[in-house]
Amino acid sequence: MSTCTDDVRAPVPSIIRPTSIVFTPDKNRTWAQSFGLSPMAGHTKGRDVAKTIVQECFNLGIRDVVFWAMSESNVFKRSISEREYLVKLLKDDLRSRENENDKIGFRVCGDWKKIIADPELEDLIERAHERTAKYQKQRLTVLFGYRGITDFKRAASKVTEEMGPEAIENEDMIRKHMWVEHLPCPIDMMVRTGVTAKNRHNSDSLLPLHGEHAYVYEVEQYWPDFSVELLYEGFRNFAECKRPKGE
């Protein structure tokens, strides 16, 4: 687990930055409760932090930024009002992006169509995909209603239907049929907030193939308290970490 023992404002040399990074922004609700606020206030603060962190990653030249906005299980665990608010935040972000020209590729991945019936959301996502498909130098992927095992099983089923049951052993082919097929494999770095020794776990099997061998940076701070300084600390840790990749 990460601890801030060095000067977290020290510059980050370009050679140590990951090219791909995944954020699991945990504990928005817990942060809000600690201030006597509603869960919606926590999600709003979390959204604002996400904008800052994602933009900093792109400013540093990172190619792929992945943000896990909502897991498949969270869709069903949250109240209807909270779920609707999270959908509203995503729709607001999609609308704002229509007026931007940042040349960032944008993808939303997950089973959201099946579990969230919202024609307006579907239209906004489709327009975002079409508008930004040509931008591949830097890409933002939002995981919404996403579960890694669901993604894997869906892809494996398609592969066996097309190529026969023996193809289930072909991981490369399965990856090409996943929602996240466009992401590099392996991902360089994964960030998770709100982690303590008592609650460390891999929620909804995040990126079971692409996340293999990734450097995992865990901090105790809740996502609304995550900062650029903590991000830079993670980059320095990433630079010092030797990833054996099974060797």
Res 231: pLDDT: 96
Res 3: pLDDT: 36
CA 46 to CA 29: how far, in whole Å?
A: 9
Question: pLDDT tens digit string along 143-193?
Answer: 999 999 999 999 999 998 888 888 788 888 999 999 999 999 989 999 999
Res 169: pLDDT: 80
Res 24: pLDDT: 95
CA 114 to CA 118: how far, in whole Å?
A: 10
Res 203: pLDDT: 64
Nearest to 22 by CA among 160, 123, 200, 146: 146
- The residue ranges of DSSP E strands in the chain, in sequence order, are 20-24, 64-71, 105-109, 139-146, 189-192, 215-218
Res 50: pLDDT: 97
CA 93 to CA 46: how far, in whole Å?
A: 13
State which residues of the chain have pLDDT below 50. Answer: 1-9, 246-247
CA 193 to CA 184: how far, in whole Å?
A: 23
Res 205: pLDDT: 78
CA 127 to CA 14: how far, in whole Å?
A: 34
pTM of the model: 0.88
Contacts of 115 (CB under 8 A, 6+ apart): 72, 75, 76, 145
3-state class (DSSP) for residue 28: helix
Burial class (CB in 10 A: 0-12, 13-18, 19+), 148: buried
